[in-house]
Amino acid sequence: MTGKPSSVAIEAHELTRNFGSFTAVDHITFDVGVGEVFGFLGANGAGKTTAIRILTGLLAPTSGTARVAGHDVYTESERIKRRIGYMSQKFSLYEDLTVGENIRLYGGIYDLTREQVRERAASMLARLGLEQAVGTQVRALPLGWRQKLAFSVALLHAPSIVFLDEPTSGVDPITRRQFWELIYEAAARDTTVFVTTHYMDEAEYCDRISIMVSGRIEALGTPAELKERFGVGTIDELFVRLARPTAGATS
Amino acid sequence: MSAFTGLLRKEWLHILRDRRTLFVVIFMPILQVVLFGYAIRTDISGIRLAFVDPSPDASSIELRNRFAATDAFRLVRVLPNAGTLDRLFASGAIQQAVILDDDFANRLARGLPARVLVVADASEPNSGSAMQSYAVAVIQGFQRELAARGGGVQIFAESRMRFNPTQASSNLFVPGLIAFVLTIISALMTAISLTREKETGTMEILLVSPLKPLEIIVGKVLAYVVIGFVSVLLVVAEARLVFSVPLRGSLLLLLGEGLLYILTSLSLGILISSRTSSQRVAMIGALAGTMLPTILLSGFIFPIESMPWPLRLIANIVPAKWFVIIARGVMLKGVGLDYLWRETLILLVMTTLLVAAATRSFRIRLA
């Protein structure tokens, strides 16, 4: 699962974003390979959301460079938007629309043809075991199903990269496990997965992780590498140490 | 399947699924026409009345006694001439005056038509017209009895409004109601529906998608423009059928000006939603920022002319004030753009500024 990426999906170099005198993202440099599951960790307010907004084309950086799916974040945000999928912790589906209506809406937004939407919806619902629920309003589905559905809908237009912003917050452990199976399936189809999470056990599932502290990336590597380099037993321990530098020695 | 039409379809689904809101939006205006038409015209009693009788005789005294005997009236002055009426009206000592012609008794005695003038303080339009109809009813009762006795005698009851002479009847509220309805649907519903997308996180999804910001906004608000139009038509039709409120000018002009006003309110709704992230705050913001000014400062219910000057000044920046003037002009006076170009221009400038501000606020949120 680990190893150097063969080709690059996301590359960021000295990427910086200021809000007035506050530096939300401070010269971060990293790259993510095609088909990689990249864990983007950090405490609240560390700058994760700002970084994701830059990479998804919602926010222009102040300085530095970044390419997403081969497109420049300064000049080609429209192209980037067609190549990425996005799912936030807030489910991203319309609760008062049915499963089928949600799928058709997103298919339409990404310019899929009617046939494409029908085919992909059918195979997606079969995979999730949700064929019976196509006419059900999303609000009536259990939380775990909604989350899996939201993820699958984010992949409907076959994006090369999918951004997941704390996709499993508030979900029970079994559903979280199933959700990660979906993530691995997507990665196996060469979809790059860029995921933020607060669950440190999930960080262990990632190919590589980065840990952001106060706008900077303080650690970057495979979970095994990082544990060895910092001499800690778990990513959880490492995270706490980095997020609170006074509590332990950092290099 | 185009992305944009998908977005339009989706907004209609939201609206149609939310039965309660839909019900409120469709039926509230209809209900309000009835409320304003009937309920607000409350029963009036103890109207302070002056009776001007230049040459009293048996028949004029009989008429006076009829007024005195009615609960609705309190006879506070009996005057030989109309000279002091102005002062009495201004001070509020009287609300209404019944003025007999100099030769009233004389003409009645000779079997000739006689004239009575009824004047009412109509600074409060609804009560003004109510007082007039009460007085006329008393006079008609008197006339019927005369006719039964001697036959053939006519009294011309002429009624005149003071302080608000152009006011024909309670027609005035319908144009204001149109402004009110458009404000609710355009500003309030837009603010709430945009904030809902923020609250549920779906707005992020739309922003991250290849949809252009303009498409997102237009896709969201177009449904409310349509509903606003339908409501205007409903209110105009109902007012005409139930209360015979005229539409003297062109419907097309009214709808065109309505569209302008809808744009103003939509922009306000978008602006409000850009400053808030919860539906509740958006609702309060829309109520305080658009609905209250529309009710209080547009001249819809309370005449602007009778407000203290600071409020008169503030009323000028309330878009509803200008729309109410326009709508009254088109509906009640039947005038066209040649008379209303100034108000239309003011509304147009306001709309342009607000649309620009709303677009900017939406873009700032993106950045």
pLDDT given at position A2: 43
Closest C-alpha among B327, B199, B351 to residue B268: B351
**Which residues of chain A are modeled with pLDDT < 50?**
1-5, 247-251
Q: In what order do the strands lie in the sheet with A192-196?
A: A84-87, A161-165, A192-196, A37-42, A208-213, A216-221
Give A165: exposed, middle or buried? Use CB within 10 Å, 0-12, 13-18, 19+. Answer: buried
Asked, for residue B156, whether it belongs to a domain, the answer is no
Q: Which residue of chain B comes nearest to A87, CA vs CA?
A: B205
Same domain, B104 and B205: no
Size of interface A-B (CB pairs under 8 A): 81
**Pair (B238, B343) in one structural domain:** yes
Backbone angles phi and psi of A136, in degrees to 5: -90, 140
Question: Residue B13 is nearest to which of A60, A88, A97, comparing CB atoms?
Answer: A97
Measured between beta carbons, which residues in chain B are less than 8 angstroms from residue A89?
Answer: 201
A199 contacts: CB under 8 Å, gap ≥ 6? A168, A176
Residue of A93, A105, A152 for testing the chain B interface, max B β-carbons within 10 Å: A105
Any domain includes B241: yes
d(CA A248, CA A241): 6
Residues B182 and B316 in one domain: yes
CA–CA separation, B281 and B336 (whole Å):
40
Query: A90 contacts in B (CB within 8 Å)?
Result: 200-202, 204
Task: Decide if B226 contacts B208 (C-beta within 8 A).
Answer: no
| CB A194, CB A163: distance < 8 Å | yes
Inside any domain, residue B158: no
Long-range CB pairs of B18-22, under 8 A, 24+ apart, other chains included: B18/A96, B21/B189
* pTM of this prediction exceeds 0.80: no
The answer to whether the CB of A229 falls within 8 A of the CB of A221 is: yes
Most B CBs within 10 Å: which of A84, A86, A94, A109, as the mutation test of the B interface?
Answer: A109
CB B268 within 8 A of CB B291: no
Q: B63: domain CATH number?
A: 3.40.1710.10
Q: Is B154 part of any domain?
A: no
Domain that includes residue B112, residue range: 47-149
Closest CA–CA distance from residue B367 to any residue of chain A (Å): 5
**Burial zone of A194 (CB within 10 Å; 0-12 exposed, 13-18 middle, 19+ buried):** buried
Residues of chain B with pLDDT under 70: 1, 37-44, 122-127, 150-172, 363-367
Instruction: Supply the pLDDT for residue A251.
Output: 40
* A247 contacts chain B (CB < 8 A): no
Q: Which chain B residues are Cβ-neighbours of A96 within 8 angstroms?
A: 13-14, 17-18
- Rounded (10°) angle between helices B213-243 and B19-34: 40
Paired sense of beta strands A63-68 and A37-42, if any: unpaired
Q: Is residue B36 part of a domain?
A: yes
Residue pair A160/A82 in contact by the 8 Å Cβ criterion: no
Q: Are B65 and B19 found together in one domain? A: no
Asked if B131 and B228 sit in the same domain, the reply is: no
Which of A235, A10, A240, A192 has its CA nearest to residue A85? Answer: A192
Indicate yes or no: CB of A88 within 8 angstroms of CB of B201.
Answer: yes
Q: Which of A188, A186, A229 is nearest to A211 (CA)?
A: A229
Q: According to the model, what pLDDT value does residue B114 have?
A: 80
Nearest CB among A91, A109, A113 relative to B6 is that of A109
Chain A segment 57-116 residues within 8 A of B by beta carbon are 57-60, 78, 81-82, 84, 86-97, 101, 104-114
